[in-house]
Amino acid sequence: MSRLVVVSNRVAPIHEGEATAGGLAAGVMDALRQSGGLWFGWSGRTLPQSVVPPDSLTPGSPPAVACSGPVTLYTTDLTQRDYDEYYKGFSNSTLWPTMHYQISLARFEHQDYLGYQRVNRHFAVSLAALLKEDDVIWVHDYHLMLLATALREIGVRNRIGFFLHVPFPASSVFSTIPVHAELGRGLATFDLIGFQTEGDQRAFSNYMREELQAETCPEGHLQLGHRVVRTGVYPIGVEADPLRAEAIRGRDDPAICDYKGRLDQRALIMSVERLDYSKGLRQRFSAFERFLVQCPEWRRQVEYLQIAPPSRSDVEAYQTIRRELEGEAGRINGRFAELDWTPLRYLNRSFPRDQLMPLYALAAVGLVTPLRDGMNLVAKEYVAAQDPEDPGVLILSQFAGAARELDGAVRVNPHDEAGMAYAMKIALQMPVAEKRDRHASMMRSLRTNSLDAWRDRFLFDLRLAEAGLSAAA
Ligand code: GDG
């Protein structure tokens, strides 16, 4: 079997149990541990410009190596300028907001795009030095849309697949990016492009037809010039049984026992995510406030725990949302708290995974209400961690990719604060028999769309795809 080579912006922390607050790292590391292989990405270090050759291309420079069981990690450094232009600039200030329909937050600077092209080329050159002839290359996410083009330009002939973890937006939204056509053609250079949902796949096909004049071939693939562009839907999953086992093990953790004692029979509503404007925290805080106003009988009976580790904190939009949430949390607690009750516990830090799972299991309600989300692994982890005999209720945004599969969730529109407040009431009052039915149905879907299934189905299709050796027209 050919070796698997995974490429993503960052590689996960090497040691098991180290907190990673990102879905890609969690999913890819678990998937790679099973199959073994090589994982290449940025080390997280930035070097001052002065120690790096002028355009930061360092062909042949050996990247650092580390091993974690069957997974070998190779990393490369970036310069401060690479970081500012490629990562903070084009990836996280142009692409991320646009892919999540937040075009009013998107900023485009041509210089940033040049940095994005440069780092994609830098990744290609460093990676090429590590490749064997029959390696299968699996590239992850929006930071690396130009990587296949860059690899083909330097003569790499291996199969190259791409998986987009975030949504692919409507054509009219994606085309607001001034260089959208180069990105579209860059994506079309991969031998297989994987999406989280059929909606994302459809949006991409529409974009390719409307903006790049691609055509649909009789077999259903897209044709762009002479290239056949293959796409597929591969919803990322979780491994349910280990998560439940972790939830059970963690029940005896002193911190968890202590917290359970302090909850004192109150129902726990819980949310976890990176502090990101796409996750709908502001709307959720307002919905919780509405719930407390409209259901005074639940005051003192409930606590809302929001875990939100800071993310991308040097991007302005993230500083703004953080300030707003701190203000809102203080205001809501100021309005409703009693001497012996704080309604909203807002924690700006990450938790080790072995504490997160028992906390999920403790929560009567898992509140997952992103404005847009490629999939949302927290929703799936919450379901997996529950006791099947007495499960909690998942409240889930209709705009999370996971909503396609998790039909037992109470579905909400995250822009409808009154609707979310009502959903909290319904969830807290739900009879146990209904909770069990809903949970069982969601567990069936978790088992069908497991993490292993995600990896195996993508790689099966990629191995079948022919390596297209020319760049897209
Ligand atoms: C992207 C897409 C897609 C969070 N806080 C802590 C912590 N986490 C872990 C969660 C979960 C992961 O991070 C978050 O994954 P999500 O899927 O919810 O969201 P993104 O980070 O935005 O991920 C997303 C995903 O990629 C995979 O394709 O689903 O749509 O945006 O695993 O548990 N983990 C620990 N401490 C924390 O405080 N240990």
Query: Which residue's CA is the closest to the ligand 1 atom numbered 15?
Result: 23
Position 386 pLDDT exceeds 60: yes
Task: Give yes or no: 373 in active site.
Answer: yes
Report the atom number in ligand 1 closest to the C-alpha of 352: 39
**Local structure of residue 47 (DSSP, 8 states):** E
Query: What gap in Å lies between CA 385 and CA 243, rounded to an integer?
Result: 6
| 8 Å CB contact between 236 and 404 | no
Nearest atom in ligand 1 to 26's CA: 32
Given 165, 191, 276, 439, the catalytic residue: 165
Flag whether pLDDT at 14 surpasses 70.
no
Interior angle at CA 328, CA 93 and CA 403, nearest 5: 60
**Looking at ligand 1, which atom is closest to the CA of residue 236?**
28
Nearest CA residue ID for atom 21, ligand 1: 22
Q: Give 101-125 pLDDT, tens digit per residue.
A: 999 999 999 999 999 999 999 999 9
d(CA 450, CA 454): 6
Beta pairing, strands 365-368 & 267-272:
parallel
Sheet holding 222-224, edge to edge: 215-216, 222-224, 227-229
Segment among 60-64, 206-210, 290-294 with least mean pLDDT: 60-64
Per the prediction, the chain carries an average pLDDT of 92
Residue that has been written with the tokens 């996750």 in this structure: 279
- pLDDT the model gives residue 30: 73
Residue from 243, 273, 399, 446 to probe ligand 1 pocket by mutation (most atoms less than 8 Å from CB): 273
| Closest atom of ligand 1 to CA, residue 311 | 21
Question: pLDDT for 213-235, tens place per residue?
Answer: 999 988 778 999 989 999 999 99
Domains plus CATH for the chain? 4-236+451-466 (3.40.50.2000), 240-447 (3.40.50.2000)
CB distance 310 to 323 below 8 Å:
no
Question: CA-to-CA distance for 88 and 15, rounded, in angstroms?
Answer: 26
Place of tokens 């949006």: 203
Q: What is the pLDDT of residue 59?
A: 47
**Beta strand 4-10 pairing with 159-163:** unpaired
Alpha carbons 26 and 22: distance in angstroms, whole number: 6
Start-to-end C-alpha separation, the chain? 32
Ligand 1 center to 20 CA (angstroms): 8
Tens-place pLDDT, residues 187-199: 999 999 999 999 9
Of ligand 1's listed atoms, the one at least distance from the Cα of 19 is 39
4, 14, 127, 144, 251 from 72: Cα distances, Å: 11, 10, 13, 20, 33
The predicted model gives 244-273 an average pLDDT of 95
pLDDT surpassing 90 at residue 326:
yes
Question: Exposed, middle or buried, 276 (CB in 10 Å: 0-12/13-18/19+)?
Answer: buried
What span, in angstroms and rounded, lies between the C-alpha atoms of 195 and 411?
22
Q: Ligand 1, from 275, 377, 397, 399: best to mutate by most atoms within 8 Å of Cβ?
A: 377
**CA of 111 relative to ligand 1 center, distance in Å:** 30
Any residues with Cβ below 6 Å from ligand 1, and which?
Answer: 19, 21-24, 26-27, 165-166, 236, 272-274, 307, 309, 350-353, 356, 373-378, 381
Whether the per-residue pLDDT at 163 is higher than 50: the answer is yes
Q: What is the 3-state secondary structure of 296-311?
A: HHHCCCEEEEEECCCC
Q: Which of 30, 234, 272, 318 to mutate to test the pocket of ligand 1 (most atoms within 8 A of CB)?
A: 272
Q: What is the pTM of this model?
A: 0.95
